[in-house]
A and B are shown apart, each in its own frame.
Chain A
Amino acid sequence: MSTVRKAVVVGGNRIPFARSNGAYAMSSNLDMLTAALDGLVARYGLQDERIGELAAGAVLKHSRDFNLTREAVLGSSLSPETPAYDVQQACATGLETVLGLSDKIKLGRIESAIAGGVDSASDAPIVVSEGLRHALLELNRAKTLQQKLKAVSKIRPKDVTPVAPGTNEPRTGLSMGEHQALTTVQWNVTREAQDELALASHRNLAEAYERGFFDDLVTPYRGLTRDSNLRADTSLEKLAKLKTVFGRQLGDRATMTAGNSTPLTDGASTVLLASEDWAQSRDLPILADVVDGEAAAVDFVHGKDGLLMAPVFAVARLLGRLGLTFEDIDYFEIHEAFAGTVLSHLAAWEDEEFCRERLGLDGALGKVDRAKLNVNGSSLAAGHPFAATGGRIVASLAKQLHERGEVDGRPARGLISVCAAGGLGVAAVLEAR
């Protein structure tokens, strides 16, 4: 181990994100991750290259995919001698793989790395009921015919119904949307503000596609060339017509619709990370430095904070450690799980009392300039294949930063925050190269 050095983003590749049960209905996590990986290999000429390490993961994962990332390596054009491991941190999986691998590069343990994530809501695992599972396990242990019959006789008709895949919080039983609906009300976020954010996301993503921004970030897959959730022609009028889907028990105060919430999505993303030497010796581009990252968690179980509010804390701690304020940030990439999530974060950062009491600051953290927020669109438009979102954001932000170059004589700087199930949140700072 040597002194700490820089970890840089070389580039990224993802497949277009598809609304679930659409273009990728027949694709597995392994298929999609391998496709995203092969696109990255093709873009950067990494065929037969032994990469230092790969880390990726999926939130909805089959037990057969216990070694998902390594299997993707073996199915790709990379050297089969590339080691790999799986990561699982709910929707923060993708960003956490970037941060973890960057740390390994910074410490000199590896020269190159690929971070990634994949998720399929279409090809989700279906689980048998606990009753059936216990009976089958007992059957497996049974030795005599009598024991076997006894095990089978325990199966009840209701046990045969499979358990549908769900992402409800195990400790509250509430879906993520229902949790956010409560937070949205708590922070007085209006329906109009949410619809405006959703509209900006679609417009920004559509514009980025139009100007060719994604030409070297996305490789088509299964006939899909753009994110299938993107509605370039949507409008506030159209969004205003949608019915509320979460927080209906709140009556008039329910504001969250299918338009200002992310849909279930399938997709995969990858990011190529490296030491400066490794990238330079291969004539590869250097888009950005991975400066730092921070994870946080909130006690949503007892209602102290909303389920998806952890990034508020992660960002405050990260900026504090780096000695930065919002004035020093040129691009904000705040993952749009729901428009209400982003707007609740913004509201919290603007709230003097909250920032003093909960974040330990002297006053409000500050106001995020909307012109700097999710400038190339985010999850409301692109969709949100849980573990793949982090890679999408890191690669797009790195490219945006590189294109911007310098601001006021310093490298352009970007802040990422991603909320996740279990009251988790991860933030990161990238700087242009």
Chain B
Amino acid sequence: MTDKYTAFVSRGWGRDLAKRLGLPQPVALRRYAADERLPGPALVVGSGPSAQALADALEGWGVEVRRDGADDGGASPEAGSDGARRPKLGAIILVLDDVEGPEGLSAPVLAAGRALRSLAACGRVVTVSRRASAADEPSLAAARQGVEGILRSLAKELRSGSTANGILLAEGVGADAPSVLGALRFLLSGRSAFVDGQFLTVGTDGGALPLDPDRPLAGKVAVVTGAARGIGASIARTLGRDGAKVVAVDVPAAGESLARVANEVHGTALQLDITRTDAGERILEHAVGRHGRLDIVVHNAGITRDKLLANMDAAKWDSVIAVNIAAQLRINDALLASDHFGDGAHIVSVSSTSGIAGNRGQTNYAASKAGVVGMVRSTAARLAARGGTVNAVAPGFIETEMTAKIPFATREVARRLNSLQQGGLPVDVAEAIAFLASDAAGGISGNVLRVCGQNLVGQ
């Protein structure tokens, strides 16, 4: 599971060699710790009220803020008047929600560009802009859609573990909406280490920021399926770390490792085959009966039964559909029918880049994982009526026991095919899920967030 290449090119002559040969130079990513700080001050580019609101919020979080009105197109903000070197920037917040046409992008985007050389390793670029819609004037829609191209290209320019992601505001949502600030905080944090080139759309001003940012899930009860190992175990640990009481669910046969995870996170183990018709009721019964409530359900359990479609049999096809999507749909029906799952409830489902970009030999798996995306978008409206959210994460290449079995050369190539030039860790997926499961993301629903280091395939 260890990425020896990254270790090799991170120091000494390995680093020099990789540089000279033009080889990929992945760096160890900045990941979340309770006392985390940005690797430098945050530069807020933009002069409107939104830029001001975001700068105020950053200062409220104890971040040192620099401002660039981006009006003068002048000198680099990093060359101080006294010519002394200033510390590298930890983040650049590019506020573009007030652009009215493509020409308006020039000044702020170029101002951000001038600051890029000052961005520290594992720094962050976050754009804040409005979502383009068919109802927009063509030039407005062009400018808003343009941000997507800028962001995705910029993310590919960044090196040294830095990432660029965007926050899209739906019409009527202000830059100071709880979930805009929640998303900003997530994207600046080490929690989003392997999220790159992605957008989070804030659809409403719902949600609430946590009282304690290090325990955003305090008092919540969360169910995680497939929690016995791999990404599921990491999700259970991360939700537990964030304060949730975790109900760890897995098939009875995985009970030994499930018990270990449950004991580690001080939760409870529920041995349950999620394809049982009464799985949803059993989950509710356990969570409400033992812990008094149910706030969060993470649909993580999934299986692969890979075959080229030409060689696929019904057993392989059907079992993947049954576990990866049919079970989730049935459990969601039970949740939506229950009085115990409503206000402030969050469902997060694990999709896959295979479901977005496709993968040879995985028609069944991709059907189920693309199905998750469809399910999330359709369920969002139903849950919104009850004050809940539903979102998906789509992991790319993650270092797990499963991917460790991929032949060496194939694995080495797969690892490097993203902007961060390395595989993600299970905790990276777990962090994205923990964010989407929190009330800070209460205004975010129907989203599919990729955790793939900006994989070269797909969006």
A interface vs B, CB < 8 Å? 35, 38-39, 41-45, 47-48, 77, 212, 214-216, 218-222, 225, 283-285
In the complex, chain B residues whose CB is within 8 Å of the CB of A47:
263, 266
Please give, as numbers and ranges, the residues of chain A lying within 8 Å of B262 by CB-CB distance. Answer: 42, 45
What's the A-B contact tally at a CB cutoff of 8 Å? 65
The answer to whether B256 touches A35 (Cβ under 8 A) is: yes
Contact B266 A225 (CB under 8 A): no
Q: List A contacts of B258 (CB < 8 A).
A: 42, 219
| Contact A220 B255, beta carbon cutoff 8 Å | yes
B388 contacts partner chain A, Cβ-Cβ < 8 Å: no
Across the A-B interface, the 8 shortest Cβ-Cβ residue pairs: A42-B259, A42-B269, A42-B262, A77-B263, A219-B255, A45-B268, A225-B253, A220-B255
Q: Which residues of A contact B254 (CB under 8 A)?
A: 220
Is the CB–CB distance between A45 and B255 below 8 Å?
A: no
B86 CB–A CB distance under 8 Å: no
Stretch at the interface among B96-104, B271-279, B401-409: B271-279
Partner of A38 from B253, B260, B271, B291 at Cβ < 8 Å: B260
Q: Is there contact, CB below 8 Å, between B259 and A39?
A: yes
Q: Shortest distance in angstroms between A208's beta carbon and chain B's nearest beta carbon? A: 13
List CB contacts (< 8 Å) of B238-292 with chain A: 248, 252-256, 258-260, 262-263, 266-273, 276, 289-292
Contact assessment for A218 and B252 in the assembled complex, using a CB-CB cutoff below 8 Å: yes
Report if A283-B289 is in contact (Cβ < 8 Å); known contacts: A42-B269, A43-B269, A212-B276.
yes
Taking the closest CB of chain B, its distance from the CB of A104, in whole angstroms, is 25
Known pairs A215-B252, A219-B256; A41 contacts B289 (CB<8 A): no
Query: Would B256 and A215 count as touching, CB distance under 8 A?
Result: no
Residues of A within 8 A of B271 (CB): 215-216, 219
Contact pick for A218, options B255, B263, B270, B276, CB 8 Å: B255
B360 to chain A, nearest CB (A): 32
Say which residue of A39, A44, A284, A285 sits within 8 Å of B255 (CB atoms).
A39
A41 to B263, CA, bound (A): 7
B263, B268, B273, B291: residue with the most chain A Cβ atoms closer than 10 Å: B263
A82 vs chain B, min Cβ distance (A): 15
Cβ of A221 and Cβ of B263 under 8 Å apart?
Answer: no
In the assembled complex, which residues on chain A have CB atoms less than 8 Å from the CB atom of B290? 45, 283-284
Q: Among the listed A39, A222, A283, which residue makes an inter-chain contact with B291, where contact means beta carbons less than 8 Å apart?
A: A283
Indicate if the CB atoms of A220 and B253 lie closer than 8 Å.
yes
For residue B267, which residues in chain A have a CB less than 8 angstroms away from its CB?
Answer: 45
Q: List 23 A-B contacts (CB under 8 A).
A: A35-B256, A38-B263, A42-B248, A42-B268, A43-B259, A43-B269, A45-B262, A45-B266, A45-B267, A47-B266, A77-B263, A215-B272, A216-B271, A218-B252, A218-B255, A219-B255, A219-B256, A219-B271, A220-B252, A220-B256, A225-B252, A225-B255, A284-B290
Q: In the docked arrangement, what's the CA distance between A214 and B269, Å? A: 14
* Chief secondary structure at chain B's binding surface: helix
Distance (whole angstroms) from the CB of A130 to the closest CB of chain B: 41
Residues of A near B291 (CB, < 8 A) are 283
Other contacts beyond A47-B266, A222-B256, A283-B292: 15, CB < 8 A: A41-B259, A42-B268, A42-B269, A45-B267, A212-B252, A216-B271, A219-B256, A219-B269, A219-B271, A220-B252, A220-B253, A220-B256, A225-B252, A225-B253, A285-B289
What residues of A have a CB within 8 angstroms of the CB of B259 in the complex?
38-39, 41-43, 219
A77→B266 CA distance, assembly (Å): 9
Q: How far is the CA of A133 from the CA of B393 in the complex (A)?
A: 67
Q: How far is the CA of A35 from the CA of B257 in the complex (A)?
A: 11
Docked Cα-Cα span, A40 to B256, in Å, equals: 11
CB distance from B268 to the nearest CB of A (A): 4
Q: In the complex the two chains form, what is the Cα distance from A35 to B263 in whole Å?
A: 12
Cα A173 to Cα B97 in complex, Å, equals 91
Q: Which residue of A lies closest to B286 (CB)?
A: A216
Report the minimum CB–CB distance from A99 to chain B (whole Å): 27
**Can you name the residue of chain A whose Cβ is closest to the Cβ of B248?**
A42
Interface residues of B in 215-250 (CB under 8 A from A): 248
**Which B residue sits closest to A13, measured CB to CB?**
B259
In Å, the complex CA distance between A54 and B40 comes to: 54
Smallest CB-CB separation from A223: which chain B residue? B256
Question: Min CB distance, A228 to chain B, in Å?
Answer: 14
Bound complex: CA A215 to CA B249 (Å):
12
Q: Which residues of A contact B292 (CB under 8 A)?
A: 283
Residues in A neighbouring B255, C-beta threshold 8 A: 39, 218-220, 225
**Chain A proximity of B386: nearest CB distance (Å):** 24
CA distance A123 to B291 in the complex (A): 40
**Closest chain A CB from B448 CB (angstroms):** 33
Instruction: Please report the C-alpha to C-alpha distance between residue A77 and residue B256 in the assembled complex, in whole angstroms.
Output: 14
- CA of A39 to CA of B270 in the docked complex: distance in angstroms? 11
A128 to B: closest C-beta gap in Å: 36
Q: Which residues of chain B have C-beta atoms less than 8 A from A44's C-beta? A: 268
Q: How far is the CA of A38 from the CA of B271 in the complex (A)?
A: 14
Contact A212 B256 (CB under 8 A): no
Taking CB as reference atom, which chain A residue is nearest B289? A283
Chain A residues, CB < 8 A from B289:
283, 285
